[in-house]
Amino acid sequence: LFAGDWQFFWASPSIESLPPMAGMEVAFAGRSNVGKSSLINALTGRNGLARTSHTPGRTQELIFFEGPENAGFRLVDMPGYGYASAPKAKVASWTALIHKFLQGRSSLARVYVLIDARHGLKDVDLDVLKTLDKSAVSYQLVLTKADQVKRTELDANIAATATALAKHPAAFPEVLVTSSRTGAGMPELRAAMMRLLGE
Ligand code: GTP
Ligand code: MG
């Protein structure tokens, strides 16, 4: 699946313009700049598939990528929530779009909620976890940019995140740790998706 050729499939600026449901979708959610688009590029091995930027607010639509032929698998890049260098009204409309999408999409099989390993869980993340608790979709937390923190700080943030997760029994208890820069955690994340496809 991840050795094949991933391609852009669809972009939705609004909940009214989603592609027809088909197969399985896996979505990546997280605060602006947390590394959602970079993670999709690292997973698929295609730099430049998803557009990235050091400026928060790069991804402004729900972007669907299609896996290799007949795999029936899509990855969904999403706008970020929280602070972005974009007008407040825009950020608010992205946030509404994200929550609507996460609540009502039966082809959505898994959501990865990305958390910056340097900053940990914020209130805006907890809002998204609440939305996910109400939807039937399984979700898991992924720490990103692990290359940017020292081991002791990383361990402390993993422990804090796991503790916070105890209040969210709908979530996977295990927290994945990744770096799109070094490739750390990519085999584990790919394996988790392969298991999902096999279910
Ligand atoms: P928005 O679309 O704006 O919400 O951002 P995003 O979550 O898609 O983040 P994006 O992938 O665009 O990455 C934001 C910045 O973080 C870019 O400058 C990336 O190069 C950087 N970045 C992403 N992942 C990593 C990582 O694992 N390690 C390091 N050091 N930098 C990273
Ligand atoms: Mg992005």
**Domains along the chain?**
7-198 (3.40.50.300)
Structure-token pair, residue 129: 């976890």
CA of 155 from ligand 1 middle (Å) equals 21
Nearest protein CA to atom 22 of ligand 1, as residue: 35
Ligand 1 binding pocket (C-beta < 6 A) is: 30, 32-38, 52-54, 56-59, 79-80, 144-145, 147-148, 179-181
In this prediction, residues 85-107 reach a mean pLDDT of: 94
Give pTM, 2 decimals: 0.97
Kindly provide the ipTM of the predicted complex, given to two decimals: 0.99
More confident position, 86 or 17: 17
Q: For 2-28, how does the pLDDT look when each residue is reduced to its tens digit (9 = 90+)?
A: 888 999 999 999 999 999 999 999 999
CA of 30 from ligand 1 middle (Å) equals 11
- How far are the Cα atoms of 24, 55, 73, 107, 195 from residue 199, in angstroms, in the given order? 11, 38, 13, 14, 6
Confidence grade of residue 198 (pLDDT, cut at 50, 70, 90): confident
CA of 148 from ligand 2 middle (Å) equals 19
Per-residue confidence (pLDDT) for residue 134, from 0 to 100: 94
CA of 171 from ligand 2 middle (Å) equals 23
Confidence grade of residue 1 (pLDDT, cut at 50, 70, 90): confident
Backbone angles phi, psi at 156, to 5 degrees: -65, -40
In this prediction, residues 152-173 reach a mean pLDDT of: 94
User: Is residue 173 predicted with pLDDT exceeding 80?
Assistant: yes
Structure-token pair, residue 172: 């996977």
- How far are the Cα atoms of 62, 125, 194 from residue 115, in angstroms, in the given order? 19, 8, 22
Structure-token pair, residue 33: 């700049």
Per-residue confidence (pLDDT) for residue 104, from 0 to 100: 85
Q: Which atom of ligand 1 is nearest to the CA of 53?
A: 12
Q: For 103-153, how does the pLDDT look when each residue is reduced to its tens digit (9 = 90+)?
A: 989 999 999 999 999 999 999 999 999 999 999 899 999 999 999 999 999
* Residue among 39, 51, 180 to mutate when testing ligand 1 (max atoms within 8 A of CB): 180
DSSP secondary structure letters along 51-77: ---SSS----SEEEEE-STT--EEEEE
- Taking the C-alpha atoms of residue 136 and residue 143, their distance in angstroms, rounded to an integer, is 23
Nearest protein CA to atom 19 of ligand 1, as residue: 54
Nearest protein CA to atom 13 of ligand 1, as residue: 35
Burial class (CB in 10 A: 0-12, 13-18, 19+), 157: buried
Least trusted range by pLDDT, from 31-35, 61-65, 84-88: 84-88
Q: b or e along 22-47 (b: 16 or more beta carbons within 10 Å of the residue's beta carbon)? A: eebbbbbbbbbbbbbbbbbbbbbeee
Mean pLDDT of the chain: 95
| Contact status, residue 65 vs residue 7, Cβ threshold 8 Å | yes
CA of 62 from ligand 2 middle (Å) equals 10
